[in-house]
Structure 1
Amino acid sequence: MNNRRQGRGKSRLLTQTSYIYDGKVKNPAVKVYDSNAKLVSSKYYTVSKSSGRKNVGKYKYTITFKNG
């Protein structure tokens, strides 16, 4: 599975995209890269996560950049 997504000159990367169910909430780290493949500091964006990540299913992570 490809966990890197492209869009608007940036790419996002989840450290892990699938897990084995163990009844615990999963929180993969999110890394954002600019168009030059340089890591973007987390002070420039926020990550919102879907609730209920303890249950089996697919969940959405939304990355919102600060100040445009």
Structure 2
Amino acid sequence: DEGKSAQIMHIGPFSEEGPTVEKVHNFIEDQNGKFDGFKQKHHEIYLSDPRKAKPENMKTVIRQPFSN
């Protein structure tokens, strides 16, 4: 059980996920949540097949566990 988490959909290539990860981190901080980037690493759920989808159309759910 990973407990509370926030998630966001990233659309685009894996190499451009940085700003999306930053958005979910900012959301958590705005909710007075806390996370330890070493102990609570984000998870990625791939909704697109990289063998079939164009990089700009790739869909990835970024899920970040956090605590209060």
Normalising by structure 1, what TM-score? 0.34
Structure with bigger helix share is 2
Structure with bigger strand share is 1
Structure with the bigger RCO (C-alpha within 8 Å, sep 6+) is 2
